[in-house]
Amino acid sequence: MAMIEIEGITKRFGGVTAVDNLSLAVDAGEFLTLLGPSGCGKTTVLRMIAGLEVPDAGEIRIAGKTVFSAQRGLFVSPGKRGIGLVFQSYALWPHMSVRQNVAFGLEIRKVDPEEMKREVAEALAYMHLEGMEDRYPQQMSGGQQQRVALARMLVARPGVFLMDEPLSNLDAKLRIEMRAEIKRLHREAHATTVYVTHDQTEALTLSSRVAVMERGRLMQVAPPREIYRRPASLFVADFIGSPTINLIPGKIVRKSEGVFFDGEALSLPAPALAAHIGAEVTAAIRPEEIQIETGENEDAVSGEAYAVLPAGSETIVQIRREGRIFNVRVIGETSFDVGENLCMRFLPEAVSYFHRNGGDRIDTGRE
Ligand SMILES: Nc1ncnc2c1ncn2[C@@H]1O[C@H](COP(=O)(O)OP(=O)(O)OP(=O)(O)O)[C@@H](O)[C@H]1O
Ligand SMILES: [Mg+2]
């Protein structure tokens, strides 16, 4: 069952179309992430679901109930939508203690004082905040404050969690810890979650589905693995992955030996593309899908080590060939020297192809 249904919503700010005729359904219990570059409209979508922003067109339903309809002139206020919000800035009340801040989430549910006390204690324990009940927000670290914000959302028991970059003010280590907390919270609370981030790792690790946005539109909505392995367009392929995917412009040609991708600094057999002879395409290969071989090798592609970038658990090796740099990811350490001759091996089934014009994926039957 769809818990949130968005149909054709548009939002303009003056001359800027922040969200452009966007439709999306989020299933009950799902963790959906809106991911995209700065300014693409993620926050605006979330604020429209919450009722903090009024769309110019379209309709929004939550749990089967219409909360906004431009056509029918209908608008349900944020407090009546059954949602919980956590933002990048923790938005805790500075004059209230941790206990009071969390209890504030219960006011709307009008529970009795004894029950309230128990639920607040439970939520604080759940977010590892025992012993901090009487502190004020300014006496806590960023991560602790964000946990208070999550506890406050938790006690209100909304059917829908909406979170806008809740981890972006935290340092790298804390971010990873809190990521795990949010994932655990979602699993146990079973609340439908819409999460906004421009951090792709966060999106890929947390979500059941990722919605990639660009300039107010949805580019692809799919599970993380599919977004990474089968990007629908050149934009998604290029936006996801670090270091970025290797993109090589070229053409599909027929040779006496078969169908080939004939690209800059690279020629690859492309038997699955026989229907696209003559097409101008871009081949895309993830850094971990290129294998490095030392010494001479018949069907491998030779190049020269341009830079070797060790990062502990992996090493990024940049290989130059005919003026083009290929990024290759190697697990662990390497002993390659800059300037050394190396061979790259490309597995044909690991290569994605996109139409250069328009950027759509060409289906090669790849899983
Ligand atoms: N209140 C506003 N008034 C005018 N323009 C706005 C307003 N809110 C957003 N915009 C514009 O709408 C577009 C989308 O903004 P939005 O905040 O939704 O982007 P975002 O994807 O959340 O970006 P970020 O990753 O930087 O938070 C931007 O061009 C922004 O400048
Ligand atoms: Mg934003």
Q: Are residues 165 and 293 in the same domain?
A: no
Q: Are residues 356 and 273 in the same domain?
A: yes
The count of domains in the chain is: 2
> Is 350:286 a contact under the CB 8 Å cutoff?
yes
Quickly state the pLDDT bin for 91 (edges 50, 70, 90): confident
| 361 pLDDT more than 70 | yes
Residues 6+ apart with CB under 8 A from 101: 92, 93, 137, 148, 152
Residue pLDDT, tens place only, 100-114: 999 987 876 778 888
**How much is the average pLDDT of 167-183?**
85
Q: Are residues 211 and 325 in the same domain?
A: no
Q: Are residues 37 and 14 in the same domain?
A: yes
Q: Is residue 252 part of a domain?
A: yes
Residue pLDDT, tens place only, 203-258: 999 999 999 999 999 999 999 999 999 999 999 999 999 999 999 999 999 999 99
Q: Are residues 23 and 109 in the same domain?
A: yes
d(CA 189, CA 349): 40
User: Nearest C-alpha to atom 1 of ligand 1 is from which residue?
Assistant: 13
CA distances from 113 to 24, 42, 44, 118, 231 (A): 40, 38, 37, 9, 52
Find the ligand nearest to 198 CA: 1
Q: Are residues 254 and 234 in the same domain?
A: no
Q: Is residue 220 part of a domain?
A: yes
Q: Are residues 159 and 213 in the same domain?
A: yes
> Is 104:111 a contact under the CB 8 Å cutoff?
no
Q: What CATH number is associated with residue 290?
A: 2.40.50.140
The residue segments making up the domain with residue 63 are 2-238
Place of tokens 């977004």: 227
Q: Is the peptide bond before 243 cis (omega within 30 degrees of 0)?
A: yes
Find the ligand nearest to 213 CA: 1
209 lines ligand 1 (CB under 6 A): no
Q: What CATH number is associated with residue 166?
A: 3.40.50.300
User: Nearest C-alpha to atom 11 of ligand 1 is from which residue?
Assistant: 18
Q: Are residues 273 and 176 in the same domain?
A: no
Residue pLDDT, tens place only, 338-358: 999 999 998 888 899 999 999
Q: Are residues 227 and 311 in the same domain?
A: no
State in Å: Cα 215 to ligand 1 middle: 10
Q: Is residue 93 part of a domain?
A: yes
Q: Is residue 367 part of a domain?
A: no
Q: Are residues 217 and 267 in the same domain?
A: no
Which ranges constitute the DSSP H helices of the chain?
42-50, 98-107, 113-126, 142-155, 172-189, 200-206, 224-229, 234-239
Domain boundary among the residues 221, 238, 255 is at 238
The pairing of strands 31-35 and 192-197 is parallel
d(CA 294, CA 302): 9
Residue pLDDT, tens place only, 126-161: 888 889 999 999 999 888 888 898 888 888 888 899
Q: Is residue 33 part of a domain?
A: yes
Q: Are residues 165 and 52 in the same domain?
A: yes
Q: Are residues 218 and 291 in the same domain?
A: no
13 lines ligand 1 (CB under 6 A): yes
Domain boundary among the residues 238, 260, 288 is at 238
pLDDT reported for residue 108: 66
State in Å: Cα 87 to ligand 2 middle: 10
Domain boundary among the residues 204, 238, 272 is at 238
Q: Given the CA of residue 40, which atom of ligand 1 is nearest to it?
A: 21
